[in-house]
Amino acid sequence: MFNNSTPPSLSNTSTTIMINSTSIMINSTSIMINSTMMNLSTSGVTPTFPLEIEANDITSRANYVYSFFASLGFIAGCFLLYSFIQTYRAQRRLAWLDCLLWVFCGLQLLLLLLSLHAVAYRPAYLMTTALGCATLSFFINTASLCSLLVLVLMAYVLTFDPPSHALLRKRGVCAALVIMSSVLISLLLAGLRGPRDDLQNMTECIMDANSGGVLYAAAKLCLAFLIPYSIQMGLLIFGCVRQWKCKGRFLSGSEEGPMFLSVTAVTFFCLLFYNVVLVRGAQLQTNAKQNPLQSAFQSVSEFVLFSASSASLLIMLVMHRPCRDSLHGVVRQLRHCCRSPGHTPTNRNIIAPQIEITDTLQDMES
């Protein structure tokens, strides 16, 4: 019989050849990786995977913080609307400034609801058509502009109390003026933002995409920030000069003055931060120097923008006296309902009646 087994020398030789070929493949793979890294380093491009992870982590943390803050603002806004409705039912009318506060509260609640597109999908973005994303951006710009113009009307009412112009005393005229101005400016911004082609293509929805360019960012900075606050600042300065000549107090003499200044200051700084980041991102996009960290920073700026609505609602709840009194009343009712039936208040002082009998001088002589 013939022995078909392979000689040991041949098996050792084949094993050696396989090991050498494997080592050659590993060496060639490492050479390819090293050459790729050398090409990336020489071309000025660095691997983006660690940057993307860090950017997603920053965006997620900002999303968690904003979600908590937005929840508080939404609860405060609902309570403010409830308080205004109770005031209207009791008095059957609202003062002109209270009516503006009611409208401003509703607009801030609308902005919080529109911000859900960022909360639900970050660190990713909402996937929708280009037309749908442009529509969402239009409604956000319109609501934001309406709230800014309502603040301008508040400054006018606080400066001229009552309003000196007959048309501005009519609430319907003021509402039409605010809505028409906001819609026209938002349409202009939508035309600058684009897109103009491929409206039905699916894309990542960014509220103010950097693809709009520096022109869109600059136009939004001027029309949706600088002009409304310039008018508001002019009214406030005029009111201060007017009251100084009359030796009176401006804003500090009214209950709504400190609240108005707090709300407009918070809104100013949040909008300033967002618009500066938007202009900077458009410049980087033009120069093709934007990285994932800068995109994450722009997402954080969007959360800062919507945080102005939450902060404004919380400030109104704390500083507006009728709403604050309503909140105290609700807290007292909750404490009374949660108290056990057999529990007696510890701070309640019960004074027993005392009967004192005194005799007058006439009674003693008789």
- Domain of 299 in residue numbering reads as 49-332
| Residue 350 lies inside a defined structural domain of this protein | no
Mean pLDDT, the chain, whole residue set: 78
- In three-state secondary structure terms, 194 is coil
At residue 281 the predicted structure's pLDDT band, cuts being 50, 70 and 90, is confident
| Residue 19 lies inside a defined structural domain of this protein | no
Of the listed ranges 28-32, 73-77, 153-157, 250-254, the one predicted with least confidence: 28-32
The percentage of the chain sitting over the pLDDT mark of 90, rounded to a whole number, equals 32
| Residue 15 lies inside a defined structural domain of this protein | no
As given in the structure block, the two tokens for residue 126 are 């909402």
| Residue 278 lies inside a defined structural domain of this protein | yes
In this prediction, residue 68 carries a pLDDT of 94
Helix 256-286 × helix 213-221 angle, to 10°: 170
| Phi, psi of 330, deg, nearest 5 | -65, -40
The one-letter amino acid at 93: R
Question: Using CA atoms, how far apart are residues 236 and 84, in angstroms rounded to an integer?
Answer: 26
The residue that leads in pLDDT, 345 or 216, is 216
- Which residue's structure tokens are 């909360």? 119
| Residue 59 lies inside a defined structural domain of this protein | yes
**241, 170 in Cβ contact below 8 A?**
no
As given in the structure block, the two tokens for residue 54 are 């860090």
**89, 326 in Cβ contact below 8 A?**
no
| Residue 344 lies inside a defined structural domain of this protein | no
| CATH number of domain containing 307 | 1.20.1070.10
- In three-state secondary structure terms, 205 is strand
Of the listed ranges 39-43, 214-218, 243-247, 351-355, the one predicted with least confidence: 39-43
**80, 285 in Cβ contact below 8 A?**
no
* Residues 94-136: tens digit of each pLDDT: 677 888 888 999 999 999 999 998 888 888 888 889 889 899 9
Helix 171-193 × helix 130-159 angle, to 10°: 140
In this prediction, residue 227 carries a pLDDT of 94
Average pLDDT over residues 12-33: 47
| Residue 191 lies inside a defined structural domain of this protein | yes
Q: How many folded domains does the chain comprise?
A: 1
The residue that leads in pLDDT, 361 or 148, is 148
Taking alpha carbons only, the member of 129, 225, 134, 149 closest to residue 187 is 134
DSSP state of 165: S
- In three-state secondary structure terms, 347 is coil
| Phi, psi of 90, deg, nearest 5 | -80, -40
| Residue 142 lies inside a defined structural domain of this protein | yes
- In three-state secondary structure terms, 325 is helix
Q: From residue 106, how far is each of 10, 110, 225, 332, 334 by CA, in Å?
A: 87, 6, 20, 26, 26
